[in-house]
Amino acid sequence: MYIQLTNAPRNYAWGSLEAIAEFRGTTPSGDPEAELWFGTHPGSPTQATATVPPAQDAYETLAEWIDSTPSLLGDALSAERRDLPILLKVLAAASPLSLQVHPTPEQAKAGFAREQEQGIALSDPARNYKDPYPKPEIIVAVSERFDALCGFRPAAEVAQIVDALSAANEPALAPLVDLLSDPTNIAVALDWLLAGSTEVGACVAAVTQLASAPTAADSPIADTFATAREISTHYAGDPGIIVAMLMNRVCLKRGEGLYAPAGLLHAYLSGLGIELMTASDNVVRGGLTPKHIDTAELRSLLSFEQAPADLLVPVETGPMTLYSPPAPFSLALVSPSGTSTEVALEGPSIILADSDEITVTDPSGSTATISRGDAAFVSGDVDTVSITGPGRAWVAVAHE
């Protein structure tokens, strides 16, 4: 069974004015359009417009369909839950998102139970855990360039940053330089930065001034200063400016992907991408945001491993590119170019049309045509589909 889907973009302030509209082939609304969601998450209910074959029942959203008919998830998942365990997004960042980290399954379960016992309302801005689920995620670049921060830099790179700051001979930088005289001392430096003292404010101001000086372009850490300068235009005075300097900056080319497991500090800076995650809203923030920051909880979740960024390497087989992170989902990009491409499905799926319409056919012969920028849910009892059409298809699959 197919359920045809559509939704309206979410207008977060960091969103692009044009990118999602261009992806959908629509006229820009004039407001920032940040994310287009497909799933059952209550944050942005996905609208169900039709079913194939036509059904007697009629529900307005995918969430209502699955809640009323959990067998749509397939035998294994329907025994455990009444919602789709994945969330597919089109994400368009015109300015940086918050520095954030997500919990492991054990941390999510324990944190949710703890805050329930404390009586913290789910709508309370100070609430960290909105559900008992982890939130691993991947992002794949759709634009020619997608910039992100992910994980902490190797110690040798941190040492180079400290040397450059030390050479400036600026008294306000001395506390940071002292803390990072051991470049593996990231955890303690982060604690100091997020404490937000007067000293921290002076240090952030000094770093911003250095990054904006004409001499920054000739510095050994010119690229790092460029990141600080870019972020400071959006979050002036935020300690996250310095935290970002200590992180790996990644520039994804179109089709390249990044996996953010539990514990990895990350932030998306700019670009259009396809994001796939488990259907959770558990985000603990560490800066570059006006929202709640729980330093202690952030500290308990973070991995302080210092290593280069590790891109998600896809597997290409003919017209299909498969992204398979160590998570309970996978994402495929299918480019049929007028031919028919068979795609195996290991669970309930969402298929999103990109650049033009696509046609999806299951083994029974049932066919659904998906318009550009819209999607279809494929029930868990369908194990293969054939995709044709002038458009491309993003296929998000939930695994057991």
Asked whether the beta carbons of 125 and 106 are under 8 A apart, the reply is no
Measured distance between the N- and C-terminal CA atoms of the chain, rounded to whole angstroms = 19
* pLDDT higher than 90, residue 118: yes
d(CA 385, CA 69): 21
* pLDDT at residue 232, rounded to an integer: 97
**Backbone dihedral angles phi then psi of residue 306, each to the nearest 5 degrees:** -110, 110
d(CA 379, CA 340): 20
* pLDDT higher than 80, residue 91: yes
d(CA 317, CA 101): 33
CA dihedral 107, 108, 113, 115 (to 10 degrees): 100
42-46, 137-141, 173-177: segment of lowest average pLDDT: 42-46
Beta bridge partners of 278: 86
Asked whether the beta carbons of 277 and 134 are under 8 A apart, the reply is no
281 vs 160: which has the higher pLDDT: 160
* pLDDT at residue 75, rounded to an integer: 87
Instruction: Give the pLDDT band (50/70/90) at residue 196.
Output: confident
* pLDDT at residue 290, rounded to an integer: 86
Task: Dump pLDDT digits (tens) for 345-360.
Answer: 999 999 999 999 999 9
CA dihedral 228, 229, 235, 240 (to 10 degrees): 10
**Backbone dihedral angles phi then psi of residue 215, each to the nearest 5 degrees:** -75, -15
* pLDDT at residue 175, rounded to an integer: 97
Instruction: Give the pLDDT band (50/70/90) at residue 300.
Output: very high
229 is catalytic: no
Of 24, 127, 249, 285, which one is the catalytic site residue? 285
Pairing mode of beta strands 145-152, 137-141:
unpaired
pTM of the model: 0.95
Identify the CA nearest to 150 among candidates 246, 271, 283, 233: 246
**Count of CB atoms situated within 10 Å of the CB of 238:** 23
- Cis amide leading into 53 (omega within 30): yes
Mean pLDDT, the chain, integer:
95
Task: Dump pLDDT digits (tens) for 239-270.
Answer: 999 999 999 999 999 999 999 999 999 999 99
* pLDDT higher than 90, residue 334: yes
Q: Which domains does the chain have, with CATH numbers?
A: 8-48+59-149+251-312 (2.60.120.10), 155-243 (no CATH), 315-398 (2.60.120.10)
Task: Dump pLDDT digits (tens) for 146-178.
Answer: 999 999 999 999 999 999 999 999 999 999 999
Q: From residue 329, give the alpha-carbon distance in Å to each of 79, 206, 325, 346.
A: 18, 44, 8, 9
Asked whether the beta carbons of 236 and 208 are under 8 A apart, the reply is yes
Q: In what order do the strands lie in the sheet with 358-361?
A: 341-344, 384-388, 358-361, 367-370
